[in-house]
Chain A
Amino acid sequence: MEQRLENIIQGCIGGNPSSQKMLYNYCFEQMMGVCLRYHHNMDDAAASYNEAMYKVLAKIDQYRQEGEFLGWVRRIVVNTCLNAVRHAARYSSVLPPENEAENIHISPEAYSQLNHKEVLRLVQELPAASALVFNLYIMEGYTHEQIAGQLGIAPGTSKWHLNHARNVLKEKIKCMQRDESVKNA
């Protein structure tokens, strides 16, 4: 596979359209999964994916062959999604005080039955700002300081949005469970 990917990359550097299509398809499944976490629907996610792949194809000769190719693509995809959604996110400068005691508690048993499609849907339903911070922190491994730098907010605001995202997710999971138990009863 590595040799095949190498051939595809070389074809893309040479501007070969069939290689470009192969690379597009090669990255599609995984990178669209990344895009879907930042967007609420498939078309918006695809728009970001296409924009990111345009950048990838235009700059592919800058890929240094250091590290995993999909890791390089992923950084471009994440930055493209970030640019696409950051303007939609609203960060209030006046946030309710963070209070650990107000965190919603939920047992692992409560959420362990969820599948990845349900989790994705719940994340997509989060408020834009909280979803963005949640994705960057949980999925991309950014620190609050890095998120603050990327989004132009205070680290404390980033922490608040992360906590808020967790609470909203847990609350929704609890609601799902209640609905399920009512249905079963």
Chain B
Amino acid sequence: MKVLRMHNNADEQFDQFVKKQLEQTGADPALAQHYFEQMQLPQPSAGGSVTAAVKSSWWRFWASMAVVGIVSVALYKASKPALPSTAAPVVALPPAPGKQQADKSDSAAGYIDAPALPLPAPGASRQVTALPVIPPAPLLPRVPSDSPAQRLPLVIVPQTQATVKRKDSVPGPLRPATVIPEKTKDSVYIIWY
């Protein structure tokens, strides 16, 4: 134990000596000019401090990122049909002949033109779209059998606002996010109330 304490004291003495010597070390001030020329100084913005410049560039970075984000979202939305709100009809009805504006009565006999529906991209699992409505018609054209419309779009409609009729099925109310299966090959009729 005594030996260990002696060692520790000797180490401390040695450490103090080294520390004292190292504290005296410095560089020749004449070299400062040489190395200063190699340094790139932080550039302040016009009339501002260095920090203001840093903050300003930081702000500009995020502002530009925000613009890119907004543009991207806008482009994405432009390329994708908007999801219909459950509080509003999926489609705006065209006015009946002789009317300036469509009203609810027009929708009573409105039909969706199935062949006019935008088709889902091959491999797409779902497509939501605003559906065009045509004036009352007894029958809608069938989708040509060789058309990719054999893969009918998936349609989301507000509850109680639409009924889908297929040639081979019984009409019934559609719930939101009701899916018309891809295997449906015939025309789709959506009648609005």
Across the interface, do A50 and B29 meet the contact criterion of CB distance under 8 Å?
Answer: no
User: Which residues of A sit under 8 angstroms from B54, Cβ to Cβ?
Assistant: 58
Query: How many angstroms from the CA of A49 to the CA of B21 in the assembled complex?
Result: 21
Main DSSP-derived SS at the A contact region? helix
Distance, CA A120 to CA B24, complexed state (A): 10
A side interface size, CB within 8 A: 48
Most buried by B among A21, A58, A115: A58
Contact A139 B17 (CB under 8 A): no
For the complex, count residues of B whose C-beta is within 8 A of A. 38
Residue pair B25, A50 in contact (C-beta under 8 Å): no
Given A14-B49, A166-B11, A117 contacting B25 (CB threshold 8 A): yes
Chain B residue numbers with a CB within 8 Å of A25 are 29, 32-33, 36
Determine if B36 and A24 form an interchain contact, defined as CB atoms under 8 angstroms apart.
yes
Known contacts A20-B41, A49-B35, A57-B42: does B18 contact A138 (CB below 8 Å)? yes
Task: Tell me if A100 and B49 are in contact (CB < 8 A).
Answer: no
Q: How far is the CA of A25 from the CA of B48 in the complex (A)?
A: 23
Contact with A along B80-110 (1 / 0, CB 8 A): 0000000000000000000000000000000
Measured between alpha carbons, how far is A37 from B29 in the docked complex, in Å?
Answer: 17
Contact A13 B49 (CB under 8 A): yes
Shortest Cβ distance from A120 into B: residue: B25
A29 partner residues in chain B, CB cutoff 8 A: 26-29, 32
Q: Confirm or deny: B39 has a beta carbon within 8 angstroms of a beta carbon on chain A.
A: yes
Task: Report whether A139 and B19 are in contact in the complex, using a CB–CB cutoff of 8 Å.
Answer: yes
| Interface flag for A12 (CB, 8 Å) | yes
**Contact among B25, B39, B49, B53 with A37 in the assembled complex (CB-CB below 8 Å):** B25
In this assembly, does A81 line the interface, its C-beta being within 8 Å of a C-beta of chain B?
no
Q: Which residues of A contact B33 (CB under 8 A)?
A: 25
Contact between B14 and A15, CB atoms less than 8 A apart: no
The reply to whether B25 and A116 contact each other, CB–CB distance below 8 Å, is yes
A168 within 8 A of B: no
Decide yes or no whether A128 CB sits under 8 A from chain B: no
The answer to whether B22 and A116 have CB atoms under 8 Å apart is yes
A141 to chain B, nearest CB (A): 9
Kindly state the separation between the CA atoms of A33 and B21 in the bound complex, as whole angstroms. Answer: 11
Q: A29-B26, A58-B42, A166-B11 are contacts. A116–B35 as well, Cβ < 8 Å?
A: no
Does A114 count as interface, using CB distance less than 8 angstroms? yes
A120 touches B27 (CB 8 A): no
A67 at the interface (CB under 8 A from B): no
A1-18 CB mask vs B (1 if < 8 Å, else 0) is 000000000001111010
